[in-house]
């Protein structure tokens, strides 16, 4: 492969690593001519159906969109990038197993939703709440990106209204603390 820095024709592979699922190989390359180091990825060409969008338009399947949607749902969750890559591979495999030439985008969303359900509750709720509204992976990504400007509210983490009993208990506790302070 050609050096992207000095355009020398020959570069050396100095490290080669295949990912856990065996679906891609990452290679570190070195240019003898200028000393530049860079990375390339080799991936099996995925033959996947065309995606039928909400407005009935067809478009080529885009792996990055699936990764984008999953990553957004998993943001700030303890989930490794490698895990997201693996789920994306699983989603693609399931899509291919349908054996259809075309697939609705909401069906892809549904597959992703089911994968997230087994992975992480918060990521699942985030994805599911937006998916149910939009039923379209693109709408989902747009919505989540828009949300990034506002504080993201997780349905799970929203506290329930504090009960009256609890409030009374808290007041009592504060009084006690004040008393204790007076004593000392
Ligand atoms: Zn070079």
pLDDT tens by residue, 123-140: 998 888 877 776 555 666
Q: Please count the CA atoms within 13 angstroms of the CA of 131 that sit on its side-chain side.
A: 24
DSSP tag of 51 = E
How far away, in angstroms, is 122 Cα from ligand 1 center?
45
CA 32–ligand 1 middle distance (angstroms): 7
Q: Identify the residue with better confidence: 123 or 177.
A: 123
* Residue 173: pLDDT band with limits 50, 70, 90: very low
Six-digit token pair at 84?
């997201």
Q: How many whole angstroms separate alpha carbon 19 and alpha carbon 41?
A: 10
- Separation of CA 7 and ligand 1 centre (Å): 6
- Asked whether 59 and 76 are in contact (CB, 8 A), the reply is no
pTM of this prediction exceeds 0.85:
no
Q: What percent of the chain has pLDDT over 70?
A: 71
């Amino acid at each position: 492969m050609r050096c992207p820095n000095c355009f020398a024709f020959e570069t050396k592979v100095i490290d080669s690593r295949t990912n856990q699922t065996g679906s891609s190989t990452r290679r570190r390359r070195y240019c003898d001519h200028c000393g530049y180091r860079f990375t390339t990825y080799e991936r099996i060409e995925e033959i996947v159906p065309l995606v039928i969008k909400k407005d009935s338009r067809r478009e080529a399947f885009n792996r990055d969109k699936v990764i984008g949607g999953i990553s957004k749902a998993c943001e700030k969750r303890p989930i490794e990038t490698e895990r997201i890559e693996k789920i994306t591979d699983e989603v693609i495999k399931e899509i291919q197993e349908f054996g259809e030439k075309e697939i609705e985008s909401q069906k892809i969303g549904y597959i992703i939703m089911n994968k997230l359900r087994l992975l992480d509750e918060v990521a699942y709720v985030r994805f599911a709440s937006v998916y149910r509204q939009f039923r379209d992976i693109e709408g989902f990504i747009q919505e989540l990106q828009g949300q990034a400007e506002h504080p993201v509210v997780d349905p799970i983490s929203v506290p329930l209204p504090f009960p009256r009993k609890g409030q009374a208990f808290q007041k009592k506790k504060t009084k006690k603390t004040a008393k204790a302070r007076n004593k000392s």
